[in-house]
């Protein structure tokens, strides 16, 4: 049965979202149709709006959500209607070389790399005004109903509050995992976190949980500092307060540079600064923010020759289908908090206001 419902469609770049009636096709074999109950707004969605992340239009964005399964396609055995679930923008097929390796988590069935904007079979489940609408990284959560592949959905605790745990679908897991999984921050270490949005604050929480003794939060918006301190930052630094480059400031603060640095913005200048501020021989710098399309980075290779490690982290290094239910269980056991990451709760029809709040750093 086709479902007619509301969705926020982005018809073209640099335009507001348009709330439209869409038709959502039933799930095909190994697919799941989900009623979305809560979705977060992430800077990665806005990168599509501005062209920093290139995707085909028209498109239904959104990738950080939680919902309830409405129906399942043929052959789906792990999930049934009524289950509470989180869609996964990094799927876990369990069969590709990455899924079979203990070292990685970016399943080859992901749509981040290709940006095709379609289901794995090369078709779409959304139509609006007779036009096919693209999916976004296999999730598309800015809609009342969506269809995802069985490998891109995790069943979670039926008691979990969906308006909170939706953040485990991207922001929280991405930041927290970058610290505890990708960097493997050790007790007593020194960390620098560039960018204090929801993901950056989650990195701060991960560094604290890992036992870092010093966590330096870096942002040009000082309004972010109080919350960063509440979540574990020991120092807050605004690059605008200094005449010298920020990496020099951080090296001076720590005498030899930080053990771990994290770039959680998606700007090449801050990526270079994060690399330069970590200890010259054993420092580790992790890129967490989505890099802007068509921009290249130039750096002195001596920065790496001396021994530093430069890494990327997608979805915090978690194997999604395995880890998301465990992260939800940890939240239910109060092992970490999510409330401080939620600044506003808006009705779906006010999605454009939500993006305005994101863009103004609120």
121: its two tokens: 């079979």
Backbone dihedral angles phi then psi of residue 231, each to the nearest 5 degrees: -95, 0
**What distance in Å separates the CA atoms of residue 329 and residue 333, rounded to the nearest whole number?**
6
Contacts of 54 (CB under 8 A, 6+ apart): 48, 115, 293
Could you confirm whether 42 is annotated as catalytic?
A: yes
Catalytic position from the list 5, 18, 47, 128: 47
Could you confirm whether 44 is annotated as catalytic?
A: yes
Catalytic position from the list 93, 107, 170, 278: 170
Catalytic position from the list 44, 71, 189, 323: 44
Using the Cα atoms of residue 59, residue 108, residue 123 and residue 30 in order, give the sign of their dihedral.
negative
Catalytic position from the list 63, 134, 149, 247: 63
Could you confirm whether 63 is annotated as catalytic?
A: yes
Could you confirm whether 170 is annotated as catalytic?
A: yes
Backbone dihedral angles phi then psi of residue 45, each to the nearest 5 degrees: -65, -45
**What distance in Å separates the CA atoms of residue 309 and residue 311, rounded to the nearest whole number?**
6
Q: 101-134 burial, b for 16+ CB within 10 Å, e for fewer?
A: eeeebbbebbbbeebebbbbeeebbbebeeeebb
CB 311 within 8 A of CB 286: yes
Q: Where are the alpha helices (DSSP H) in the chain?
A: 43-50, 97-100, 162-165, 171-177, 198-209, 225-230, 246-254, 268-276, 302-305, 320-332, 351-359
Contacts of 50 (CB under 8 A, 6+ apart): 13, 14
Q: 160's torsion region: left (phi>0), alpha (psi -120 to 50) or beta?
A: beta
Could you confirm whether 78 is annotated as catalytic?
A: no
Catalytic position from the list 42, 93, 191, 207: 42
Backbone dihedral angles phi then psi of residue 191, each to the nearest 5 degrees: -130, 150
Please list the active-site residues: 42, 44, 47, 63, 170
């Amino acid at each position: 049965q086709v479902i007619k419902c509301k969705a926020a469609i982005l018809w073209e770049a640099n335009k507001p979202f348009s709330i439209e009636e869409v038709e959502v096709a039933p799930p095909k074999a190994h697919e799941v149709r989900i009623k979305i109950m809560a979705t977060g707004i992430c800077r990665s969605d806005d990168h599509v709006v501005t062209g920093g992340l290139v995707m085909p239009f028209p498109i239904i964005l959104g990738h950080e959500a939680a919902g309830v399964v409405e129906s399942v396609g043929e052959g789906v055995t792990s999930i049934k209607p009524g289950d509470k679930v989180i869609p996964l923008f990094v799927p876990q097929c369990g069969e590709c070389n990455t899924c079979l390796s203990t070292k990685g988590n970016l399943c080859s069935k992901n749509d981040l790399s290709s940006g095709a904007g379609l289901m794995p079979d090369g078709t779409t489940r959304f139509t609006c005004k007779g036009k096919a609408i693209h999916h976004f990284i296999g999730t598309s959560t800015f809609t009342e109903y969506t269809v995802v592949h069985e490998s891109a959905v995790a069943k979670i605790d039926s008691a979990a509050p969906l308006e909170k745990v939706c953040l485990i679908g991207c922001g929280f897991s991405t930041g927290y995992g970058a610290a505890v999984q990708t960097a493997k921050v050790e007790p007593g270490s020194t960390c620098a976190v560039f960018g204090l949005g929801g993901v950056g604050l989650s990195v701060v929480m991960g560094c604290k949980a890992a036992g870092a003794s010093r966590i330096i939060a870096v942002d040009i918006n000082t309004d972010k500092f109080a919350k960063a301190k509440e979540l574990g930052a020991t120092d807050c630094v605004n690059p605008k307060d200094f005449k010298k480059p920020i990496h020099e400031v951080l090296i001076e603060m720590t005498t030899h540079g930080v053990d771990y640095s994290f770039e959680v913005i998606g700007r090449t200048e801050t990526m270079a600064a994060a690399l330069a501020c970590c200890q010259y021989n054993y420092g580790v710098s992790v890129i967490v923010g989505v890099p802007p399309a068509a921009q290249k980075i130039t750096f002195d290779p001596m920065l790496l020759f001396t021994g530093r490690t430069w890494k990327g982290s997608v979805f915090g290094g978690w194997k999604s289908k395995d880890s998301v239910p465990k992260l939800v269980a940890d939240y239910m056991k109060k092992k970490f908090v999510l409330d401080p990451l939620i600044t506003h709760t808006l009705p779906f029809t006010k999605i454009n206001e939500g993006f305005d709040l994101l863009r103004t750093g609120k």
